Amino acid sequence: MSNILKREAVFAVTGLVTVLMFVEYFFFPQDWIVASTIRNWAVIIYNISLGLGGVRLIQQHVMGTQRRKENWQFSALFLVAFVVMLLTGLAGYLGTGVATSNGIYNWLFVNVYTPLGSTAYAITGFYIFSAAYRAFRARNLDAALMLVAGCFVILSNAPVGEVIWSGIPAIGEWFRFVGQVPGMRAFEVVGALGMIAYGFRALLGKERGFYAGGAEE
CB of 133 vs another protein, minimal distance in Å:
4
Among 58-66, 70-78, 177-185, 202-210, the segment contacting another protein (CB under 8 A): 177-185
> Residue 157, interface with another protein (CB under 8 A)?
yes
> Residue 213, interface with another protein (CB under 8 A)?
no
Q: Which residues have CB under 8 Å from 108's CB, separation 6+?
A: 84, 85, 88
d(CA 32, CA 18): 14
- Binding characters for another protein, 118-137, by CB under 8 A (x = yes): x-xxx--xx-xxx-xxx-xx
Q: Which residues have CB under 8 Å from 57's CB, separation 6+?
A: 78, 82
Q: Please, what is the end-to-end C-alpha distance for the chain in angstroms?
A: 20
> Residue 217, interface with another protein (CB under 8 A)?
no
Contact 172, 155 (CB under 8 A): yes
Per-residue exposure over 166-193, b if at least 16 CB sit within 10 Å of its own CB, e if not = eebbebbeebbeebeeeeeeeeeeeeee
- Residue closer to another protein by CB (options 87, 98) is 98
> Residue 50, interface with another protein (CB under 8 A)?
yes
- Residues within the interface to another protein (CB under 8 A): 25, 30-31, 35-36, 39-40, 42-43, 46-47, 50, 96-100, 109-110, 113-114, 117-118, 120-122, 125-126, 128-130, 132-134, 136-139, 147, 150-151, 154-155, 157-163, 169, 173, 176-177, 180-181, 184-185, 188
